[in-house]
Structure 1
Amino acid sequence: MKKQDSSPRKLRLPHLTAGRIASIAASLLVLALLVGLGIYLNAPKPGDIPTSTSQMIFAVARVNDVLMDNAQADDWSEGRRLGTQLLELEICSGEHKGEFLEAYNYLNAYTNLDAKENTRLIVQLGYDDSGALYVVNIFNYDRWQVVGAFVLVFALVMVLVGGWKGVKALLGLLFTLACVWFLLLPMMLQGVPPIPATVAIIALTSAASLLLLDGPTLKTLCATLGCVGGVAVAGISAAVVGTLTPLNGFNTENAEALVLRAADGGLEISGLLVCGILISSMGAVMDVAMAIASSLHELHTHNPELSPLGLFRSGMNIGRDAMGTMANTLILAFAGSSLNTLLLFQVYDYPIMQLLNSDLMSLELLQGVAGSMGIILTVPIVAALSGYIMGRKRKQN
């Protein structure tokens, strides 16, 4: 019977080979280039005029006292209190922190910020003709403390359950959000064609997220190529159907407001519909791609003699189980985002011909079906790539 070694184990650091050092250096170089590009795209340009919204003054305010309250519960609004309040507010942020102001708060069924003592609100501040500070508008509740705590709980759960891979997944998510906000959107606003820009960002963020999770492995390569291929299928199918119907970015929400901005900065609105479908389908497609690539990698590891055709067949069998649930998830997500409008269609008993040909229903169907098409065709793409690449490695060995 072997004696167990009771000495404390030393933490083993990863061995830094020349290849690993080169990979780290290349990653840092790419990251530095992306940061530089983001700074350039977001820097103010000569001749830029600040928007009226950017010059508004918002602050967090705490209700110090409710000076008057005639609001009463109303039946038709499901018990929401309707009426008027006069609030004494203490400004809690900004250059006017510590000042006290009075403001009327008008409660109706839709903008119903029912305030009590110590309620925290977001208010818009302004100056009257004499230069005195006053509350222009009570904008909303200060929700960020609760929302921020919920985000922290989500991150903690991901780390506790996923361990080191959970940390990597969080870093990948942050990288994706940063690329969309600081790279993709500014590129669109400066006139870069939106569809190629979106495809480039999707390829970049998919590769970065999967590399963070598993490093430069064969399954990462297969999953990344499959993800880009599946998203491309979703975009191409949406573009084809949108051209035939026709449907484009001008049919989407807030297109009218964007038209004014497009005239100044070269924003191409017509391609925004396809871009939205590419971005929204990316997560589900990435999930399917990595699931199949990871499964086939495990099969290849435990049975290196599996042929490319055998790996492909296994990938198809695995993918058939995954694609059904993922397609349902994507279509139901699009339907859930328009639940209120769908209820109105039922309330007013729209004729089926008008319903099916409305912009909203056509857009929802196009987004859901195009995204699901991308998920479905991701399965054979990843299965074929994994079978060829991993099976080819078997032959070489």
Structure 2
Amino acid sequence: MNVLVWLAAILLILMLLIGGKKGARSFISLFLNFGVLLLTVLFMTDPNANPIILTLIACAVISCINLFYINEVNSKTITAFISTIITIGILLFFINIVAKNALIQGFGEEEVEELGVFSLYIGVDFAKIGASMIIMGTIGAITDVAISITSPMREIFNHNPLISRKDLFTSGLSIGKDILGTTTNTLFFAFCGGYLALLIWFKDLSYSVGEIVNSKLFSAEMISILYAGIGVALVIPIASWINAYFLVKTREKNKISNN
């Protein structure tokens, strides 16, 4: 417990020194997001609740916290929020299909021994739970990339107010290209770091490459990473187009009102 307190204190001090008030809000948002996730999990235990609907609501709330609470309500956060919701909506259709057909719901063989003393008949749809896990795994990366696109685009527009919508959109895509590779690699290495012990266990159990790839635990995490990567790739053109449209349209409205 002392280690957690000290690490949290160090994180808070660094965020205050570097980010100021925004750093303090970022630190508080960690606990707010944790509270949202905890409430979502509690509601998911109700057999009558739809896990996917609950997850979408949680993702919307998390996006609001990460965008509006930390960066306040402005054009870049509004367009980033809209882009995030649209991207999640597009992914949701495919996630629901893959989660059912890939049979990644429930627990893997490696977890059966630890769960043997518990009853698994708890009345919830594990296929929807699996889809919810994938959706929740994509929201952080998608929101991060969305604001990383809209924020510099706004700066470009402020420094060059006469820029055309096409050039502004192209600038957003150019920014996104630099983000795409690093973000997808970050997702992959996050998986490797979090599941390094599992990979070592697979080696000790003499799993073949085919058995590792077809393992439910491994497949579920890789599918989640791939969907997060797809979401990151999709949100770049979506955020670029919405932000370019919004900024140019606002400029045209201001011209009309001034005339």
Pair 1:204-2:72 in alignment = no
In 2, the alpha carbon distance for the partners of 1:229 and 1:262 equals 35
Q: Secondary structure at the match of 1:304?
A: coil
In 2, the alpha carbon distance for the partners of 1:246 and 1:267 equals 16
Unpaired segments ≥5 residues, structure 2:
none
User: Cα RMSD (Å) of the superposition?
Assistant: 2.4
1:233–1:377 Cα contact (<8 Å) kept: no
| C-alpha spacing 1:352/1:184, structure 2 compared with 1 (3 Å) | same
Out of 5, 8, 22, the position equivalent to 1:151 is: 8
| C-alpha spacing 1:233/1:335, structure 2 compared with 1 (3 Å) | farther
| C-alpha spacing 1:338/1:196, structure 2 compared with 1 (3 Å) | same
Where do residues 344-363 of structure 1 align in structure 2 (5 Å cutoff)? 344-363=201-220
Pair 1:190-2:49 in alignment = no
More strand by share: 1
Where do residues 89-128 of structure 1 align in structure 2 (5 Å cutoff)? none
Out of 275, 290, 294, the position equivalent to 2:147 is: 290
Out of 346, 349, 371, the position equivalent to 2:228 is: 371
In 1, the alpha carbon distance for the partners of 2:37 and 2:217 equals 25
Paired AA for residue 6 in structure 2: A
Where do residues 14-163 of structure 1 align in structure 2 (5 Å cutoff)? 144-163=1-20
Of 334-343 and 379-388, more deviation after overlay is shown by 334-343
Unpaired segments ≥5 residues, structure 1:
1-143
Q: Name 1:175's counterpart in structure 2.
A: 32
Paired AA for residue 171 in structure 1: I
Paired AA for residue 160 in structure 1: L
1:293–1:382 Cα contact (<8 Å) kept: yes
Deviation at 1:393, TM superposition (A): 1.1
Out of 308, 313, 320, the position equivalent to 2:170 is: 313
| C-alpha spacing 1:157/1:378, structure 2 compared with 1 (3 Å) | same
- Could you tell me the percent identity over the aligned residues? 27
Paired residues in the alignment total 251
Deviation at 1:351, TM superposition (A): 2.8
Out of 270, 276, 280, the position equivalent to 2:137 is: 280
- CA-to-aligned-CA distance 1:9-65 (integer Å, 9 cap, x gap): xxxxxxxxxxxxxxxxxxxxxxxxxxxxxxxxxxxxxxxxxxxxxxxxxxxxxxxxx
Q: Which has the higher contact order (CA 8 A, sep 6+)?
A: 2
Of 347-356 and 282-291, more deviation after overlay is shown by 347-356
Out of 110, 114, 119, the position equivalent to 1:260 is: 119
In 2, the alpha carbon distance for the partners of 1:177 and 1:269 equals 22
| C-alpha spacing 1:247/1:293, structure 2 compared with 1 (3 Å) | same
TM-score (norm 1): 0.58
Paired AA for residue 248 in structure 2: G
Paired AA for residue 124 in structure 2: L
In 2, the alpha carbon distance for the partners of 1:296 and 1:158 equals 25
Of 158-167 and 237-246, more deviation after overlay is shown by 237-246
Runs of 4+ residues over 6 Å off in structure 1: 252-255
Paired AA for residue 119 in structure 2: L
TM-score (norm 2): 0.87
In 2, the alpha carbon distance for the partners of 1:258 and 1:200 equals 33
Out of 203, 218, 222, the position equivalent to 2:75 is: 218
| C-alpha spacing 1:333/1:233, structure 2 compared with 1 (3 Å) | farther
Deviation at 1:355, TM superposition (A): 2.6
More helix by share: 2
| C-alpha spacing 1:226/1:318, structure 2 compared with 1 (3 Å) | same
| C-alpha spacing 1:258/1:368, structure 2 compared with 1 (3 Å) | farther
Paired AA for residue 344 in structure 1: W
Q: Name 2:186's counterpart in structure 1.
A: 329
- CA-to-aligned-CA distance 1:136-180 (integer Å, 9 cap, x gap): xxxxxxxx0121111111111111110011112123222211111
Q: Name 1:29's counterpart in structure 2.
A: none
